[in-house]
């Protein structure tokens, strides 16, 4: 097989930029651009000790696809036999590694040994001299056992060194700006804010979270994740977040789900030297093993006994190879989970690996449910709001189902924006008089229960129809919305959801408490001869369109009722609504795969006419009033992008001038000019806060340009 080709240097204008390719809430597949190629994140930078290479960097590149590694510039600076070749030939040659090289600065050594002999500017200038891709400034390690005053001074001193370090780095190397702050959430947020703003000509490219190694050693995971969330609340969203010294695969899924992009660790080599192997569920000592608890190509064909009988060196090498392989494959799994929207599920599964990790996971979901006005609460609110509430594919039912961020988001949107109809299929108006709760029925509900629902409504028009789910009762309008219709579990999860009668708190989130409830437990037979059937079905379809547009796009239901007065829809062979027209014009289609809404250009025009002003520019103090129904989210782009976007090209970061704060990744938005003219409509990949920061990559996948001739 041909050796893996050397990386292509990124374009100078892209150097140091980060772009999002795909996301699942706070978790993101990113590309970080360096002089030695683009790195796909989340990824682990294996630590290479230049004095002791357990696995050759070249082999990491060729065999394990490692795109970047980390080594310690202080170790190289201190050892003359390394300093000179590093200075004359460069770090890439010294290590024999063609990808990106990241270096640390000696801070960790100062934590372990008490001091280092190098000054902050000396170590940055040395990293520049040896040609690293990303260097690290000499930050001040804040230990968890330090007093608040000591931690404050580590945050302040690190920031005090930041500007000079950035000036010293110049535009020849990128620089890590570590976040300190110990266990104090406010200090973590302060450190993130200060380090995020540091620099005049150049800024930090990446923000590692520092001072956390002792927490990982002591398995204090609850505090660890609290710190990550607190720091993330103030880290500029266009910069990758790195967890300094974290390399246990067990911690990857939850860290990634909370927004971490980079890891680094020597764990693969250190554990190997100690005769331990890594698995995604924890660490296993090989002594006494009869068989391997996990397979890898490194261990294939060898028994634990054979490995134990090898020389210490040979054994460490084989185990280190295994450990690196497992680490890489768990990261690949995490990336794939981001692509298919299951990173939270993976974090949930992995949380059972250790009681301490489970405790930390449960703490995170408690915080998610409470969303207090703290650094952690604001970070989690941002996480939830950036999560697409609609997603394809099965959603496995577990005890934690109701705490998954996309489910919480979906239920929060129902609670905020769903309103009971005010006009009914028979032409009557006024508030609902009854609730019909479809119980003991599994999805698709239109197959199991539509006939009964129609029969009931013929007799009792002023009725709100709800279906029972393991998440509680939800409006029938969303019966085809995934994950609701794809909850995956044994049949029993659909049985006796509500007994013997509905509890008020189960429907109070929809504002329906106090209404009498009829429970539909077994099918009613539909009187096929009734002339009202089509009328009732059309009304149900219209409710579904109005409800979805109000809940997912934030449009007022009364406005929607007006524009949809003459709604017509075509049905598929399987009797599902496909094309929806207002006044004879095709305006949208409910997506068969996930029950979401796909707008047409005409649909975008109508929704734009209901919300015709341009959104606020980024950077202005928001005058936006908090509203339940702020209208279809709008994104304002600069004039130079209009000719392209107006013809249907995607909106790229850097051309966005402003966006509504309720923009949700994965849900429809419209794109307007500075004057508020409709240019296109599409689906955003990012939140509005992210659009204000990112400089590279796609911001909105455009579905239709609205300025085509």
Q: Which residues bind ligand GUN (CB under 6 A)?
A: 104-105, 107-108, 136, 139, 141, 178, 210-211, 213, 244-245
Q: How far is the CB of 208 from ligand GUN (least distance, A)?
A: 7
Helix (H, G, I), strand (E, B) or coil at 6: coil
Tokens 């577990």 identify what position? 398
Q: How far is the CB of 642 from ligand GUN (least distance, A)?
A: 45
Asked if residue 444 has a cis previous peptide bond (ω within 30° of 0), the answer is: yes
Which residue among the candidates 2, 14, 96, 104 is catalytic per the annotation?
104
- Going by C-alpha positions, the residue among 484, 374, 414, 389 that lies closest to residue 628 is 414
Q: How far is the CB of 47 from ligand GUN (least distance, A)?
A: 9
Q: How far is the CB of 179 from ligand GUN (least distance, A)?
A: 9
Closer to ligand GUN at the Cβ: 234 or 335? 234
251 CB-near residues (< 8 Å, 6+ apart)? 216, 221, 224, 357
> Nearest 5 degrees, angle CA 193-CA 198-CA 199?
160
Q: How far is the CB of 328 from ligand GUN (least distance, A)?
A: 21
Q: Is 359 left (phi over 0), alpha (psi -120 to 50) or beta?
A: alpha
The count of other CB atoms within 10 Å of the CB of residue 513 is 13
How many residues does the structure list for the chain? 709
281 exposure class (CB count in 10 Å sphere: 0-12, 13-18, 19+): middle
Closer to ligand GUN at the Cβ: 46 or 590? 46
Closer to ligand GUN at the Cβ: 154 or 449? 154
Is the torsion defined by CA of 8, 14, 18, 22 positive or negative?
Answer: negative
Helix (H, G, I), strand (E, B) or coil at 682: strand
Q: How far is the CB of 137 from ligand GUN (least distance, A)?
A: 8
193, 235 Cβ separation under 8 angstroms: no
- Which helix or strand (DSSP H or E) is residue 354 part of? none
Closer to ligand GUN at the Cβ: 245 or 280? 245
Closer to ligand GUN at the Cβ: 182 or 665? 182
Indicate if 104 belongs to the active site: yes
List the beta bridge partners of residue 670: 634, 681
The count of other CB atoms within 10 Å of the CB of residue 560 is 24
Q: Give the long-range contacts of residues 687-691, CB within 8 A, separation 24 or more.
A: 687/237, 687/382, 687/385, 687/386, 687/663, 688/633, 688/635, 688/659, 688/660, 688/661, 688/663, 689/237, 689/382, 689/661, 690/20, 690/237, 690/238, 690/386, 691/618, 691/635, 691/653, 691/656, 691/659, 691/663
CB burial readout 658-671, b (16+ within 10 A) else e: bbbebbbbbbbbbb
List the beta bridge partners of residue 242: 208, 262
Q: How far is the CB of 215 from ligand GUN (least distance, A)?
A: 11
Q: What is the DSSP string of 545-564?
A: HHHHHHHHH---HHHHHHHT
Closer to ligand GUN at the Cβ: 215 or 284? 215
d(CA 510, CA 541): 20
Phi, psi of 233 (to 5 degrees): -60, -25
Helix (H, G, I), strand (E, B) or coil at 90: coil
- Which helix or strand (DSSP H or E) is residue 472 part of? strand 472-475
Closer to ligand GUN at the Cβ: 245 or 473? 245
Q: How far is the CB of 138 from ligand GUN (least distance, A)?
A: 7
Closer to ligand GUN at the Cβ: 151 or 645? 151
Q: How far is the CB of 113 from ligand GUN (least distance, A)?
A: 13
Phi, psi of 321 (to 5 degrees): -60, -45
Closer to ligand GUN at the Cβ: 241 or 657? 241
CA distances from 577 to 84, 456, 542, 591, 627 (A): 72, 21, 10, 9, 30
CA distances from 438 to 444, 469, 609 (A): 12, 9, 37
Q: Which residue has its beta carbon closest to ligand GUN?
A: 210
Helices 375-385 & 221-232 angle (0-180, nearest 10)? 70
Closer to ligand GUN at the Cβ: 205 or 481? 205
Closer to ligand GUN at the Cβ: 245 or 432? 245
The residues that are catalytic are 104
């Amino acid at each position: 097989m041909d050796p893996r080709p050397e990386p292509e240097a990124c374009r100078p204008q892209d150097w140091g930029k980060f772009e999002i390719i795909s996301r699942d809430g706070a978790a993101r597949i990113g590309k970080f651009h360096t002089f030695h190629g683009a790195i796909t994140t989340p990824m682990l930078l294996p630590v290479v000790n230049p004095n002791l290479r357990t696995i050759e960097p070249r082999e990491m590149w060729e065999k394990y696809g490692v795109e970047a590694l980390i080594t310690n510039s202080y170790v190289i600076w201190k050892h003359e036999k390394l300093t000179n070749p590093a200075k004359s030939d460069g770090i890439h040659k010294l290590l024999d590694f063609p990808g990106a090289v990241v270096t640390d600065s000696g801070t960790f050594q100062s934590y372990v040994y008490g001091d280092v002999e190098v000054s902050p500017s000396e170590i940055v200038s040395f990293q520049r001299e040896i040609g690293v891709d990303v260097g690290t400034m000499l930050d001040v390690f804040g230990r968890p056992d330090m007093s608040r005053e000591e931690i404050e001074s580590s945050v302040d001193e690190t920031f005090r060194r930041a500007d000079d370090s950035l000036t010293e780095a110049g535009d020849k190397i990128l620089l890590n700006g570590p976040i300190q702050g110990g266990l104090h959430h406010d200090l973590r947020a302060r450190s993130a804010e200060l380090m995020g703003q540091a620099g005049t000509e150049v800024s930090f490219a990446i923000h590692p979270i520092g001072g956390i190694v002792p927490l990982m050693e002591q398995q204090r995971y609850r505090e660890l994740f609290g710190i990550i969330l607190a720091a993330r609340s103030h880290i500029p969203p266009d910069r990758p977040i790195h967890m300094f010294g974290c390399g246990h695969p067990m911690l990857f899924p939850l860290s990634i789900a909370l927004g971490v992009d980079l890891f680094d660790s020597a764990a693969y080599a250190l554990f190997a030297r100690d005769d331990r192997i890594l698995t995604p569920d924890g660490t296993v000592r090989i002594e006494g093993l009869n068989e391997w608890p996990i397979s890898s190509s490194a261990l294939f064909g060898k028994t634990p006994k054979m490995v134990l009988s090898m020389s210490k060196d040979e054994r460490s090498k084989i185990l280190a190879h295994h450990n690196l392989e497992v680490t890489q494959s768990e990261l690949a799994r995490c990336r794939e989970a981001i692509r298919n929207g299951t990173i939270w599920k993976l974090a949930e599964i992995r949380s059972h690996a250790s009681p301490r990790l489970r405790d930390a996971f449960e703490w995170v979901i408690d915080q998610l449910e409470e969303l207090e006005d703290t650094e952690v609460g604001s970070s989690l609110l941002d996480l939830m709001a950036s999560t697409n509430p609609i997603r394809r594919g099965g959603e496995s039912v577990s005890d934690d189902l109701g705490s998954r961020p996309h489910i919480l988001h979906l239920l929060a949107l129902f609670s905020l924006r769903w309103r009971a109809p005010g006009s009914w299929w028979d032409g009557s108006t006024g508030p609902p008089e009854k609730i019909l709760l479809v119980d003991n029925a599994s999805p698709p509900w239109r197959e199991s229960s539509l006939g009964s629902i129609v029969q009931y409504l013929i007799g009792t028009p002023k009725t709100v129809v709800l279906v029972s789910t393991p998440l509680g009762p939800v409006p029938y309008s969303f019966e085809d919305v995934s994950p609701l219709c794809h909850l995956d579990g044994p049949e029993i999860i659909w049985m006796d959801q509500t007994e013997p009668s509905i509890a008020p708190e189960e429907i109070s989130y929809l504002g329906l408490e106090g209404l009498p409830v009829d429970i539909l437990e077994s099918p009613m037979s539909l009187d096929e001869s009734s002339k009202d059937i089509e009328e009732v079905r059309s009304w149900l379809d219209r409710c579904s369109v109005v409800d979805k547009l109000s809940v997912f796009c934030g449009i007022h239901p009364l406005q929607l009722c007006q524009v949809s007065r003459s709604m017509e829809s075509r049905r598929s062979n399987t009797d599902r609504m496909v094309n929806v027209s207002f006044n004879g014009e095709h305006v949208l289609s409910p997506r068969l795969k996930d029950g979401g809404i796909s707008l047409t250009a005409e649909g975008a025009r109508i929704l734009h006419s209901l919300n015709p002003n341009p959104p606020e520019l980024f950077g202005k103090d928001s005058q936006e009033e908090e509203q339940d129904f702020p209208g279809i989210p709008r994104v304002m782009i600069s004039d130079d992008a209009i000719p392209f976007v107006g013809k249907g090209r995607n909106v790229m970061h850097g051309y966005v001038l402003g966006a509504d704060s309720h923009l949700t990744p994965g849900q429809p938005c419209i794109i307007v000019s500075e004057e508020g003219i409709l240019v296109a409509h599409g689906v955003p990949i990012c939140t509005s806060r992210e659009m204000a920061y990112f400089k590279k990559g796609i911001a909105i996948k455009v579905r239709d340009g609205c300025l085509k001739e």
